[in-house]
Structure 1
Amino acid sequence: MTPLVSVYIPTRNRSALLRRAIDSVLAQTYPEIEVLICDEASTDDTAEVVADYARRHPGKFTYLRNETPQGACRARNRCIEQAIGTYVTGLDDDDLFHPQRIECLVDIYRRHSPSFACSRFKYFQDPAQIERLREHRYSETELARADKLTLPALLYANLAGNQVLTELSRMRELGGFDESMPSWQDYDMWIRLADRYGTAVCTRQLLSFVDDDRSRARIRNSSRRAEGSERFIAKHARLMNADQKRNHRNIQYVMNRQRPSLGEIARNISLGGYKSTLKVLLHKFFGVAIG
């Protein structure tokens, strides 16, 4: 039997973008999918949009609503609590899946038995460019190519992106997303999955697209990102070696647009996290801030 995959989508006042996200789920080549949408007290026509999809696709949609905004993580967790799939994955309301994403991730998950499966992802600002990428179809051989993501590698950086596929029972066993985190909740969840269940796996193909429209407020462009980083380090310090901790200090320097002294830079050189070290040096000497 083909196992059911639950897709959770938190949303708030973005009905047009939500349609685009839902359409990318309905375009999946994988046949057994349920879609759970948690509406964060939207005041636009989100409820009507979801009701229309539910009418046209009976039994496929579950609509949940928070009467007051409770945050994206609470919205995700409500969906996870109501889901009935074997596997679960997520989609933000402004992002998109490649049509072969879920089929590929289920396949590599079943073949490798990892803690979770993910794909390469791309930030975008031009929807037309992404539509061209989404039109490309990968061969079975291409989709079968995957690399391991070990816990030590993940502790240097979030190599999985903002969405993965794993077993629903695992998400529930770990208590879902940490609703106390102001940001980095996704990264925190992936670390907990890898810590509990072992090495993850990532397909080499580009199957997920993250909307980076700078005209809209995003956590990655806000002060909550730095606060989330600090909590993340405190929460997972026991898992990190000295080089990983130095790497995360450099990440914080970059996020906060700080220019540490040369002595501090020398003390925090990270061999495994050389990219963050280079970003600190570029900002220090040339004023180039790379997020």
Structure 2
Amino acid sequence: MNSSVLVGIVTYNRADLLPKALDSALGQSVPNLKIAVIDDGSKDDTPKVALQFPQVDWTHRKASEGYMSARNELMARPGFDYFVSLDDDAWFLRDDEIAVALQHLNENPRVAAVAFDILAPDQSQRREVGAAQPVAMFIGCGHVLRLSAVREVGAYEPVPGSYGGEEKDLCLRLMDADYSIVRLPGVHVWHDKSPVARIIPHQHRSGVCNDLVMTLRRTPLSVLPVALLSKVFRHLWFSWRTGLMGSCFAGFGLFIRSFSAIWSSRRPVRIETIRAYVKLSRN
């Protein structure tokens, strides 16, 4: 089966690393593979990188609109069966990672997402290729989505914060529609975790807010108060231990200011879905 595949990369001010991501995508042994990059308002030499890769489809935004909206834009492009999301500071290590993922997806129509086995500077030990493992969620820097499933449940929903929580929210909705998410051990993507555009206090503020937003949107009403209180306590505990209390309270404030709008967008999943997600996340 020759599936049509879009590899999408959203980039911002990482002209030094972006070519490595593009070379690794172009080297994949998959037919009908198209690569598209959305430059989310970069101020560096990213336009020069575009000139080096004319075979790639480029979209240049004048100002940053965020990676979530860019990924939604990429997934909305017609004519593709699968969307491979690759960060601009991440790359494949072989030439067959996408092919292996597509084989599993084509053989398992109720699998909606494949998470690659992520390596990084703080976790660099390669693993042997093994059987697919059910997991709670994928990591944004390297995964494949079945676009028919995404169209069924909806893409990434707007959130007040610019970073964090979108993968969990989408995975909950996919699981609630009786799809599964798997990880492929040993089918690696390297994530370099570039410090460019990573401002930890800002990311923490955003992550705290978006996690509470996801909880408000997806948790059944019968357990919502307990779920929100538990989240608040966990964020306070983590932030106290890591010296990020100011960012934590800023995230709480952003969530409170957005509460009314988020409440109107509530679409809870089943309590069974929450239980299944929690069980998988503990494995």
- TM-score (normalizing by structure 2): 0.71
Alignment of 1:3-22 (within 5 A): 3-22=3-22
User: 1:161 aligns to what?
Assistant: 139
- TM-score (normalizing by structure 1): 0.69
Look up the equivalent residue of 1:174 and give its one-letter code. Answer: V
Query: Are the counterparts in 2 of residues 24 and 98 from structure 1 also a CA contact under 8 Å?
Result: yes
Query: Are the counterparts in 1 of residues 40 and 66 from structure 2 also a CA contact under 8 Å?
Result: yes
Q: CA deviation at 1:200?
A: 2.2
CA distance in 2, matches of 1:94, 1:203: 20
Query: Are the counterparts in 1 of residues 138 and 167 from structure 2 also a CA contact under 8 Å?
Result: no
CA distance in 2, matches of 1:172, 1:237: 22
Alignment of 1:60-209 (within 5 A): 61-82=56-77, 84-99=79-94, 100-113=96-109, 114-124=111-121, 142=129, 145-149=131-135, 154=136, 159-162=137-140, 163-182=142-161, 183-209=164-190
CA distance in 1, matches of 2:220, 2:238: 23
Look up the equivalent residue of 2:23 and give its one-letter code. Answer: D
Partner deviation per Cα, 1:116-171 (whole Å, 9 max, x = no partner): 22232233269xx68xx5xx9x7xxx45x11223xxxx2xxxx4222432222332
CA distance in 2, matches of 1:102, 1:65: 26
CA distance in 1, matches of 2:181, 2:188: 17
Aligned length: 238
User: 1:257 aligns to what?
Assistant: 240
User: 2:269 aligns to what?
Assistant: none
Pair 239,184 (structure 1): closer, same or farther in 2 beyond 3 Å:
farther
Q: CA deviation at 1:216?
A: 5.2
User: 1:30 aligns to what?
Assistant: 30
TM-align CA RMSD: 3.3
User: 2:48 aligns to what?
Assistant: 48
Q: CA deviation at 1:71?
A: 0.8
Pair 239,148 (structure 1): closer, same or farther in 2 beyond 3 Å:
farther
Runs of 5+ unmatched residues, structure 1: 260-271, 277-291
Q: CA deviation at 1:38?
A: 0.8
Alignment of 1:229-248 (within 5 A): 229-238=211-220, 245=227, 248=231
Pair 123,49 (structure 1): closer, same or farther in 2 beyond 3 Å:
same
Percent sequence identity is 19
Q: CA deviation at 1:258?
A: 5.9
Query: Are the counterparts in 2 of residues 98 and 207 from structure 1 also a CA contact under 8 Å?
Result: yes
